[in-house]
Structure 1
Amino acid sequence: MMDSEESERMSFLLSRLLEKDIGTKEEVDIRRKTVLFKEQFDNANNENHSIFNTGSSAEGFALRGSDNDAMIVDKTIMTVNSKHQIPSDSKHDMVLLLRDANNCQHGHVELEIAVWRRCKQPLYKSFHPVGSRTFISSDIYREEHVKHALNLGFNVASHGPSSGADATGTNAAFDVVHAFHCPVWPKDAIEWKTRKRLYGWPTETVLIKIIEGGCHLVPIGDKCSDNTLLQWRISFAYAERLLVHSLSHSQFKVYGLLKIFLKNIKVRLEAISKEEEILSSYILKTVIFHAVENTPETFWKEKNTFTCFWFCFSILCAWVKAEYCPNYFIPKNNLFKRHIHGQNKTKLLQLLSEIHNMKWMCLSVGTYVKPSIMDILLNKSHQADLMQNQTLLQSEALL
């Protein structure tokens, strides 16, 4: 059992080690700027579509297996909340009207065609009449894009709202989501817009930028619903990328440690549920957002690295016990509703309780990192190297 002084010393070493694996603040900033520059370059002369990079790489990670996901946004499609918002001079190929989706969790909508001039085949094949009105089917739209990619020779499969390809010997895993942009902040997330924030995160500047950026609509329904044919999920990918980029480097490293930890227990999680991912990196992103919003920035110091990680882990454990993981933007949307209950919940709690009892030694679990984080931290030679790297960094900062 470590006393507070030893825990702070080990936390400092852990922070240094994470800096080696995740990168310095400068290195992470360069990765992000590279992604943003390429994104701007790719979108500069494209009138019909824009690319928005998502996933770990866009967040600034370069961990083994970091995904290179992207949304392809159809700029010829306009989405509005009411017919009164349709501009008389609109030159969009199609205008879609957002409608409340029935029999599903908050955070999903249906898309009714309000104006139609022209559209490409995947969208046209997705038309679904309901009485005198016509809607766009998310299920058909998604699968039409998968078929199109297969016809072009790409080895892809439907994965959530996206067309996904698994990692091979030469290529990293990637997911491509075909989405529509909604310029208006969704009414389901009004609470997030007006939420009282005791510690000023996100800042007013980031908050305004997020709200002005609106959201996206991706072709997947509520998996807990009996009929997903017309349901589209509201995606906050734009907001999430801004929020991750607004984290301090210490907070970002703890987020990285959570992702490494998830990879380390992946095999054991798969033993609990082979059919689907029982814990995802998105859940951990939700954890870090809630944790950062509800703590002062002074909490996130290098000497508290493990304490911050443990705080996040405790939030996760509490959510699993409650069978409720509140979506960060729409708390009424329970991200655990589908699969954290019954035997899945019991087995997951057993695993998390076992890890909780290990305290610091939980960093020795798994095979993703070899030697394990704890093995490195307890090695005197590695400790000396980590301290020396810190001394060099301090020296360079003084120049």
Structure 2
Amino acid sequence: MFQQPGYIENVSLRLSEVLADIGVDERIVQKRRRAWLLNESMTTILQDAHVSTYYLGSQSEGTTTLGLHSDTDILHCVNDFYVIQDWADWKPGVLNYLMIQDETVSSGYCLLQLLRDDAPLPHNDVLNPYYLFRDRTGRILLKNTSLLAATAGAFEGGVRHGPAYAKQEQPGFTDSDTVCAYPCKSWPLQARQWLDQQGVGQWPSDEMKRYCRNTGCFVVGVGSQENEELEWRISTSLAERCLMFNLNITQIRCYILMKMILKTFIKPYSGDTVSSFMCKTVLFHCIANTHSNVWRENNLLVCLTLCLFVLYNSILNENCPHFIIPGNNLMRGHISHAYKPYILEILKYIINSEGRALLEIECDDLGARIQLKLSNLHSEFEIKSSDISGDLILSIAQLSALNIEPRLYSITNSSYKEAIQTLLKYIFKLVIISNQCQGLDKTACSLIVSCFCTTLGSILASLNIQQYNALSAEALTLISCGLNTDVASSKLKLASMLHCLGDTQREDIVLRDIEESYELNIVEPVCTCHAFIRQPYRRGFYALADNHNEEAIQYTTASCVTFLPCEINCVPHELRHEMFRSTQEDLAFRGRDDYWMDWAVVDSLPYLYYLQYKTCRNLGKHEEKQRALFNLIRTIDQEPNLGHRETALNLLGQCMEQEDRAKDSLECYLLSLNERERNNAAKFHICRLLSTLVNDQ
């Protein structure tokens, strides 16, 4: 094998170049990790202390590509339970469970024994037979089905796979696998020996092991085949993430190639018989048992062959020891005798092909790209790093909105006083956290708090307008805190307030500033209200996103402009109808995530042109008014990624009415109904318009 002089180095370097071209290089890996850890911070910061959320797996590790379509692995840690391994760690007044790891339990698993909350003693009563079980020795054990039952309602629409709920997400979001777990602060007993082991590769380092030990572990609600209902699987996910974060780029590329081989050659025929986690475990063992100088870019083909050879032997022997808990054989009971001969044969073929089998991989056009590189031909494929960067920027903007929207929904029907108090509570919490933390947690606080400030400022402004038709200094100060959240949405809220006050001159200044900042070849609309298929992003957006991290959100994205009912005095009357879009019959056709239908929500760009039309009309600027109307029509017709095209059409229809173009306005409302048949204010506008026409005649 590899007899031709320079063959290994040449193919390895070309393969490394191809992987870099599709976004597997140090820069993009770090961008992926930063984006997903920031998403993790944003999600956890707004949760109460009862739950912590972690984004794990390929997305947060940076070990994926666009073509692999990796799921987002989410772990929700329920902190109400206190799992201990030592009686000395018992705490009074909380639910204590003792982790039992004896000869009756499969390696990598444990039992959870209920303890009393008033003394460090075993509990003796079966309080709930659905959740608890008394074994032959009298121990009260918690069934793992209790966690699944307690959390199933949170995953409506998901399909259960073992302890996880798999959910196909809306277009533009990756599919997710969500697991709930209980935390254990101490390192699992079954993994203590791992802390003292050291292979020839001197990996993991002592420093990494110290960090891993301090992460503790989780217990997940799934048992082994021997004891499916009572056993809990021990998860060292955070320690494994630490190990992944300490791989070099060749090791990451090796892992990604293994996943591409699974996707191309094995999964189509044998499903999940061999999992990516098994490949990751094989990689860990190979790194620990080889010298570090083996893992070089010009040796990638040898590294891949080594991993595939170890994977082959693992499948042959049906033995793949968990890297941290080696007594847990990941392949036990997983290798089907029907598929085993095929899997071994295909791995043998790939190993003996000396890299030629990689030419058959269509994922990310890998094979075709390698062929071009080896032929010294110019690649016909575009480099995808900017595409990846664009996806990451949008994911941060979208997840920020998705974390904020449920909190806004909680005050949808609140009084001014209640809404103000609730938002102040969130803002104070975020400020306190921000002052106590640094890094990504601080960045997460900054991204979220500005949105709450904008909404609070708008609510105060609505109250001000109702009481004395003016804006208070407090409202303006809060609005100013969020003006640079993105390109347009917060500034449009300010313009909307000025419009409702009749301060047309200042409104005109704000709108001009927004239009100057809104680069049409760069800025992408962001809408998380409902599912729609996004079209490719603008090239200018990709280019800017590729050179920046989350700070690019304020230059490259424009979120929906959202008004709650308690902001109604800051909403032009043409847009207020959107708050009352649903008839009694329509309500039955809403989904659980359609709470935005009680708000007035509009995409930033059409709202900019609508406000410009109104302002120029009030100022008597006929030509500029017509230009704004033309821009509104063009945007509705040509902008591919509008989330609320029906609302923009409703606004355009009302502009047409003001232009005495009743036929055109009716056409706008009918087009709006084509976009959204139900829960659409266009029905009201059509009835109103027809009534007006009949009465005039």
Task: Please give the range of the TM-score, normalised by the shorter of the 2 chains.
Answer: 0.7 to 0.9
**Does structure 2 retain, via aligned residues, the 8 Å contact 1:101–1:231?**
no
Instruction: Give, in whole Å, the separation in 1 of the partners of 2:130 and 2:191.
Output: 27
Aligned amino acid, residue 241 of structure 2? R
TM-score normalised by structure 2 residue count = 0.50
CA separation of 1:378 and 1:109: change in aligned 2, threshold 3 A: same
Q: Deviations 1:211-244 (Å, cap 9, x if unpaired)?
A: 111111111111x32x311110001110110000
Q: How does 1:354-365 map to 2 (within 5 A)?
A: 354-365=349-360
The aligned residue for residue 161 of structure 1 is 163
Match of 2:280 among 282, 285, 294: 285
The answer to whether 1:381 aligns with 2:377 is yes
Question: Which residues of structure 1 form unaligned runs of 5+?
Answer: 118-122, 390-399
CA drift of 1:16 comes to 1.1
Q: Which residue is 1:40 aligned to?
A: 41
Shift of 1:71: 0.7
Cα distance in 1 for residues equivalent to 2:303 and 2:174: 31
Q: 1:71 matched to which residue of 2?
A: 75
After TM superposition, give the deviation of residue 107 of structure 1 in Å. Answer: 0.6
The residue type paired with residue 189 of structure 2 is K
Say if 1:108 and 1:233, in contact at 8 Å, map to a contact too. Answer: yes
* Compared CA separation, residues 187 and 4, structure 1 to 2 (3 A): farther
Aligned to 1:261: 261
Structure 2's unaligned 5+ residue stretches are 119-126, 386-697
Deviation at 1:257, TM superposition (A): 1.6
Change (3 A) 1:279 1:163: same
> Which residue of structure 1 lines up, in the alignment, with residue 339 of structure 2?
344
Deviation at 1:5?
A: 0.7
Distance in 1 (CA, whole Å) between partners of 2:366 and 2:30 is 28
1:338-393 deviation per Cα after TM superposition (whole angstroms, max 9, x unaligned)? 1325333223212222323322111023443436254344342147999xx9xxxx
**Greater helix share, structure number:** 2
- Checking the alignment, whether the CA contact within 8 Å between 2:180 and 2:220 is kept in structure 1 is yes
Q: Would the aligned equivalents of 1:82 and 1:97 in 2 still touch at CA under 8 Å?
A: yes
Computing the radius of gyration from Cα coordinates, the structure with the larger value is: 2
2:185 partner letter: P
Alignment of 1:211-290 (within 5 A): 211-222=213-224, 224-225=225-226, 227-266=227-266, 269-272=267-270, 277-290=272-285
Q: Deviations over 1:260-302 (max 9, x none)?
A: 2222224xx4424x5xx11110011001111111112211111
Distance in 2 of aligned mates of 1:385 and 1:145? 45
Q: Is the 8 A contact 2:18 2:370 kept in 1?
A: no
Equivalent position of 1:58 in the other structure: 60
- In structure 2, relative to structure 1, the CA distance for the partners of 1:114 and 1:292 (3 Å cut) is same
- Which amino acid in structure 1 is aligned with residue 196 of structure 2? T
Match 1:141 to one of 147, 151, 154: 147
Which region of structure 1 is more displaced relative to structure 2, 127-136 or 304-313? 127-136
Contact 1:21 1:63 in 2 (8 A): yes
Which structure has more RCO (C-alpha within 8 Å, separation ≥ 6)? 1
The 2-side partners of 1:319 and 1:71 are apart by 28
- Kindly tell me: are residues 104 and 353 of structure 1, through their superposed partners in 2, closer, same or farther at Cα, counting changes over 3 Å? farther
Instruction: Say if 1:168 and 1:317 are closer, same or farther in 2 by CA, change over 3 A.
Output: farther
Conserved 8 A contact 2:110-2:234: yes
Q: Is the 8 A contact 1:140 1:229 kept in 2?
A: no
Letter in 2 for 1:308: C
RMSD: 2.7
Q: Which residue of 192, 202, 205 maps to 1:203? A: 205
Partner of 1:111: 112
More strand by share: 1
Change (3 A) 1:60 1:171: same
Could you report, residue by residue, the CA deviation over 1:26-79 in whole angstroms, capped at 9, with x for unpaired residues?
Answer: 221122122223323332353111111112101013513122111111122111
Helix, strand or coil for the counterpart of 1:111?
Answer: strand
Match of 1:8 in 2: 9
Q: Distance in 2 between matches of 1:368 and 1:196?
A: 36
Which residue does 1:84 correspond to in 2?
88
Moved more, 95-104 or 296-305: 95-104
Relative distance call for 1:23 and 1:83 in structure 2 (3 A) is same
TM-score (normalizing by structure 1): 0.84
2:32 is aligned with what amino acid?
A: R
- Secondary structure in 1 aligned to 2:100? strand
For 2:100, the equivalent position in structure 1 comes to: 99
Q: 1:4 is paired with a residue of what secondary structure?
A: coil
Once residues 79 and 258 of structure 1 are traced to their aligned partners in structure 2, the CA distance between those partners, rounded to angstroms, is 36
CA deviations 1:121-142 (Å, max 9, x no partner) are xx97852131654322113422
In the TM superposition, what whole-angstrom CA distance separates every residue of 1:189-222 from its partner, at most 9, and x where no partner exists?
A: 1221111333221121111000111111111111
CA, structure 1 residues 317+371, in 2 after alignment: closer, same or farther (shift >3 Å)? Answer: closer
Q: What's the secondary structure of 2:233's corresponding residue?
A: strand
Alignment partner, residue 324 of structure 2: 329
Partners of 2:13 and 2:31 lie apart in 1 by 24
Match of 2:311 among 297, 309, 316: 316
Partner residue of 2:27? Answer: 26
Deviation by residue 1:101-157 (Cα, 9 ceiling, x = unmatched) = 66553010011111459xxxxx978521316543221134224422x135xxx3101
SS in 2 for 1:66: coil
Query: Percent of counterpart pairs with the same letter?
Result: 25
- Secondary structure of the residue that 2:338 maps to in structure 1? helix
